[in-house]
Amino acid sequence: MAVMTATGDTIFAGQVLAYGSTASRAVHVSNSVITAVEPWQPGDLLATNGARLVALAADEVLIPGLVDTHVHVNEPGHTDWEGFASATRAAAAGGITTIIDMPLNSVPATTDVAALELKRQAADNQCAVDVGFWGGAVPASLGSLAELADAGVFGFKCFLLDSGVPEFPPLSSDQLRQAMAEIATFDGLLIVHAEDPGVIAANVRPHTVHYSEFLDSRPPAAETAAIRTVIAAARETGCRAHIVHLSSAEALPELIAARHEGVRMTVETCPHYLVLSAEEIADGQTQFKCCPPVREAANAELLWQALTDGAIDVIVSDHSPSTADLKLFDAGDFGAAWGGISSLQLALPLIWTAARRRGIDLSQVIDWMATGTAELITIGDRGRIAPGLAADLVIFAPDDQLQVNAAALQHRNAVTPYDGRTLDGVVRTTYLHGERIEADNPRGNLLSSKRK
């Protein structure tokens, strides 16, 4: 029996996912930072020297805190939909220790420095996890995007069609190129809601209770055409571009070809496109509405293949909540109901449940939901368990099961298409900066990505 001398404020001992594999390890933490990751066996004695020992149970794995780069918190302005307190509690309960807030659905939208400061003031002292912010690229903000970058946003979100909220108008094709040219001057990142307005206008279905008709109103061609526009602008300007919430696999060949050509493109998808399918959505079930829409099961399998092949880079929640009345459950009108899926707390078990049934291991899931997302926004101190990185850690029980009860989630509103589902994987404890997250003690930092 070996005796190990432990150092640090806290030592986690047990199965640890680090360096691409799960093995018996001891993780040493001091001053909110991981100081060492060492081999360890259950029979070894740890001379803790007064440090706190966290011994994992036999069915638990220590994983890095997830980084979710696509979350609509909605505060200020629509805190009844969601807010920093409820969203970050939900994130922590789901093993997410860093979120990046989207610039729209709050009022004002985060399209200038003054609005960013209001957002920071709203978030201050409320957050259970670390929070950063995207800025908005809208017609009025063109020419001043560098100011937002200097103020600390991690990049810029734009739409190519009506966003659904008046505070966040879309960019035309010419304005998209203008934005990209501007962002390229400081090597920033533009993230794009890619649906083509012309294709959508040609297929519009303003009112329908039939999911098949709603699906037809947002055809794959809308994503493919818009992504083609983004590729052309990125090729011309050299700007880094990222496609958010890809739902259609039809656009993947053009994305792959562009990347082989050297165009700086990345792409994400979301749990709802990987777990849900059009075939299971009954007429009037507007809790499933999102844009772009949930497509057929065969399309979902192509997205999974693209993930494993590396054609899709990351998985994010696109948590886009609302109050129940905006979903128009009584009318069941897919055309008029608010579009958005609430899944922040459930993202990890949703993906793990589906991944393990396809023979995908937990380390790959973490690559998509923690390591890759941290790399997307160039935060180098999180998303992995390694010395020198932030001690944002999660005790996860991959074989335990969760029965989803919408009313018991930390989300502000009990609206989710996953209510009643049984999922694999339970987050038992989440640590931020080396300390266990407690709901009544928000310690999350407001993050800033300062331009060098």
> Helices (DSSP H) in 195-319: which residue ranges?
197-202, 211-217, 220-237, 252-261, 271-275, 297-309
Fold of domain 65-378+399-421? TIM Barrel (3.20.20)
Count of residues in the chain: 452
Q: Which two tokens stand for residue 423?
A: 């999922």
| C-alpha–C-alpha distance, residues 133 and 392, integer Å | 19
- Assess whether pLDDT exceeds 70 at residue 187: yes
| C-alpha–C-alpha distance, residues 4 and 13, integer Å | 11
For 104-143, how does the pLDDT look when each residue is reduced to its tens digit (9 = 90+)? 999 999 999 999 999 999 999 999 999 999 999 999 999 9
Block residue for tokens 């190129």:
177
Q: 3-state class of 223 per DSSP?
A: helix
Q: Is the pTM of this model over 0.85?
A: yes
pLDDT for 9 equals 87
DSSP string, 362-426: HHHHHIIIIIHHHHHTT-TTSSS--TTSB--EEEEEEEEEEE--GGGSSSSS---TTTT-EEEEE
- Assess whether pLDDT exceeds 50 at residue 3: no
For 15-27, how does the pLDDT look when each residue is reduced to its tens digit (9 = 90+)? 999 999 999 999 9
Express as a percent the part of the chain with pLDDT over 90. 93
Please check whether residue 317 is in contact with residue 274, taking contact to mean a CB–CB distance below 8 angstroms: no
Domain boundaries, the chain: 3-56, 65-378+399-421
Mean pLDDT, range 258-270, rounded to an integer = 97
Partners of residue 191 on adjacent β-strands:
157, 242
Please check whether residue 87 is in contact with residue 146, taking contact to mean a CB–CB distance below 8 angstroms: no
> Helices (DSSP H) in 31-161: which residue ranges?
84-93, 113-123, 145-151
- Assess whether pLDDT exceeds 80 at residue 44: no
| C-alpha–C-alpha distance, residues 237 and 190, integer Å | 12
Would you tell me how many other CB atoms lie within 10 Å of the CB of residue 7? 15
Mean pLDDT, range 326-346, rounded to an integer = 96
pLDDT for 331 equals 96
- Assess whether pLDDT exceeds 70 at residue 92: yes
- Assess whether pLDDT exceeds 70 at residue 8: no
Would you tell me how many other CB atoms lie within 10 Å of the CB of residue 76? 17
Q: How confident is the model at residue 314 (pLDDT cuts 50, 70, 90)?
A: very high
Mean pLDDT, range 271-286, rounded to an integer = 98
Question: What is the overall mean pLDDT for the chain?
Answer: 95
| C-alpha–C-alpha distance, residues 182 and 139, integer Å | 13
- Assess whether pLDDT exceeds 50 at residue 53: yes
Please indicate whether residue 50 or residue 24 has the higher confidence score (pLDDT): 24
Q: How confident is the model at residue 439 (pLDDT cuts 50, 70, 90)?
A: confident
Express as a percent the part of the chain with pLDDT over 70. 96
Q: 3-state class of 150 per DSSP?
A: helix
pLDDT for 47 equals 60
- Assess whether pLDDT exceeds 80 at residue 49: no
- Assess whether pLDDT exceeds 70 at residue 452: no
Q: How confident is the model at residue 1 (pLDDT cuts 50, 70, 90)?
A: very low
pLDDT for 41 equals 86
